[in-house]
Amino acid sequence: MPIERPVPLPEEYELTYRVAAMPADTNYHGDIFGGWIMSQVDIAGSVLAVREARGRVATVAVKEFRFIERVLVGDLVSCYTAISRLGHSSITVKVEVYASRQFDDPAVHRVAEAVLVYVALDHEGRPRPVKR
């Protein structure tokens, strides 16, 4: 069965990255480690930023990050992204994270939200203007 797009998600968000949460990604309580979720969010945001920048970017800031609900082993984690601001060399990306539980729970859970800033870089690793 296809995974439904979460209903409250505004049109501007696109599905950028989807990954399954595995046992190796848990903390010692058996829940998925927050740092793993942050890493997936950074990857998702960078995919959109690289596309917008048409080249290399670096994460310069995590402006907001909120864990809303637990992620469980076996969840399919979907990161939806949208650009919230284009600066001279910076790209601010909003990320909404949803988890689909396997088998017995048809609901799609909103598990995290974040805002990250990326900077377009030249070959020497210096900020460069974002092409428009």
Ligand X SMILES: CC(C)(COP(=O)(O)OP(=O)(O)OC[C@H]1O[C@@H](n2cnc3c(N)ncnc32)[C@H](O)[C@@H]1OP(=O)(O)O)[C@@H](O)C(=O)NCCC(=O)NCCS
Cβ distance 76 to 18 under 8 Å?
yes
Nearest to 68 by CA among 6, 15, 14, 17: 6
Cβ distance 37 to 109 under 8 Å?
no
CB closer to ligand X, 32 vs 117:
117
DSSP string, 76-109: EEEEEEEEEEE-SSEEEEEEEEEEEPSSS---EE
Decide if residue 34 touches ligand X (CB under 6 A). no
Cβ distance 75 to 37 under 8 Å?
no
Nearest to 93 by CA among 76, 79, 77: 79
Q: Which residue is nearest to ligand X (CB)?
A: 87
Q: How far is the CB of 123 from ligand X (least distance, A)?
A: 13
Q: Which of 58, 64, 69, 122 binds ligand X (CB under 6 A)?
A: 58
Decide if residue 35 touches ligand X (CB under 6 A). no
Decide if residue 61 touches ligand X (CB under 6 A). yes
Decide if residue 122 touches ligand X (CB under 6 A). no
The residues in 79-98 that bind ligand X, with binding defined as CB under 6 A, are: 87-90
Q: Which of 34, 55, 59, 110 binds ligand X (CB under 6 A)?
A: 59
Question: Footprint of ligand X on this chain (CB under 6 A)?
Answer: 58-61, 87-90, 117, 119, 127
